[in-house]
Amino acid sequence: MNKIEQQLDTGHLNSDLGRRAAQGGAFLIGVQAISFVTNIASVAVLARILTPADFGLIAMAAITVTLAKRIRSLGLTTATIQNKNVSYRQISALFWINVGIAAGLAILISAGSPLIAWFYGDSRLVGVTIGLAIALFISGLGVQHGAVLQRQMRFRIIAARQIAGAVVGPTAAITAALLGAGYWSLVILVLAESVVMTGSSFMFSRWIPGRIIRNANIGSMVKFGTHVSLSNIAALFESRMDNVLIGRIMGAASLGLYSKAYGLLLLPLIHLNTPITRTVVPTLSRLQDDPVRYKRYYYRAVTLIASLTMPVVAVFLVTSEEMVLTVLGDNWTEVSSLFVILAPAAFITALLSATTWAYVSLGNVSRQSRWSLFSAIVMVTAISIGTIWGLNGVAISVSVGRVVLFYPAMFTCYRHTQLSLREYHKALGRPIVSTLVAAGLSYGAGLLIDPGSSYLMLIMRMAIFGTVYMAVWLGIPGGTTIVREMRAMILRGNRTASQVTA
């Protein structure tokens, strides 16, 4: 095996897979917490400089660009991570495929920008769309390099990239906004993040793509990636159709309110889910031939993601009015009611991340793509009906649709696998009970005690929620044992981590 092939080999990871997974996940969660604080701070600043219409304008253009981003990777990054053995020739071929697709999509979107502007009735979208298309191409240059970093489980470097992007992008946007750039400051944010993330991926991935190779034996990887890509496209179509219809029917200001409400609600979930998924999928992919270890690790990951995301959504729900006033300011008060309506959808979105882990790691991506297409059809129909009743109608249709489809989604994912809904429910029991008790007590305390300001109310309710949540979580039998085990996994590595993966 030559030096280049050694850079792509993952055989050396198997001897301490549990330690790498545990430490990597813990490290990335910490970094995501930093990124989350940075994002919240930048949102708080930009929301006071820009208007809801400015955010809505960017959201209109972002719908098309985000769809193109899902097409751009063609699921080939997932194929790179999931495959047990992959060669330098194969990844080089995948790199050039991704670059070609990114370039083609950027050109196509730029050429079609007048059509997007016509659809929404706003000529400013021509320039905005072209700017975001350029960012799409720049980020497309680094997708395979990022996949190599994930495949090698080099979580520290992945985390450093995220921190750099989370700092440089918002800093550039805030500076531009203060100088009077208006909605262009949000385009600058995306461009700056793309440059930083792609540049750092090239710098730290330790490999340089080879020339274009025709016979690289990547047929199975392209097939796998295509199914992943189709699933992602269907899921994106489903999740963004509400934005399309709101932007078309109700305008930029309404879309700005809605997208900021749902976006802010999902922001902490994305920051929590991203590092966990980046740790869990490579680990489960390595364990796919060992059902016992696979299931043990999978259900522990389900408990972890639920324990982190459920309380976050509940806090946003309980403190909706105070959260909006504190983070966004007085111009965004309509967002608080949308928070409440969209909370069930956010809960379900967080829980469904476990289906992606199973689909990808077990190679059942064709089933995932079929389900995603069916789900998209149902959700788009529901959202279209919801537009009759305005913003709240759309939000209600999104939440109702997510709740109705939840169990069919889980059943479809687990069918003919070693996973079961019974074990999944057991993994969710502790975080569900803890979240419900903490939410009820913190909300009730706010009704009985008036601290005098929305800021103090936010702090009080969050403090009560956090205290009660931890007390109940630890108080349920076995809680302290699980915490000690997780702590040992992070601090001591091999010995205790093997209890989860061995």
Q: Is the dihedral of CA 193, 81, 362, 76 positive or negative?
A: positive
Q: Is the dihedral of CA 235, 236, 237, 238 positive or negative?
A: positive
Helices (H), 387-420: 390-414
Which pair of structure tokens corresponds to residue 209? 């793509």
Q: How confident is the model at residue 218 (pLDDT cuts 50, 70, 90)?
A: low
The secondary structure of residue 317, as a DSSP letter, is: H
Q: How far apart are CA 340 and CA 323, in angstroms?
A: 12
Q: How confident is the model over 220-256, as pLDDT tens digits?
A: 556 665 666 666 677 667 778 888 899 999 999 999 9
Q: How far apart are CA 306 and CA 73, in angstroms?
A: 28
Over range 64-81, report the average pLDDT. 69
Q: How confident is the model over 113-163, as pLDDT tens digits?
A: 999 999 999 999 999 999 999 999 998 887 777 777 766 666 677 777 878
Q: How far apart are CA 174 and CA 437, in angstroms?
A: 39
Q: How far apart are CA 256 and CA 491, in angstroms?
A: 44
Q: Is the pTM of this model over 0.85?
A: no
For residues 51 and 331, is the Cβ–Cβ distance under 8 A?
yes
pLDDT exceeding 70 applies to what percent of the chain? Answer: 79
Residue spans of the domains in the chain: they are 3-501
Q: How far apart are CA 451 and CA 446, in angstroms?
A: 9
For residues 194 and 139, is the Cβ–Cβ distance under 8 A?
yes
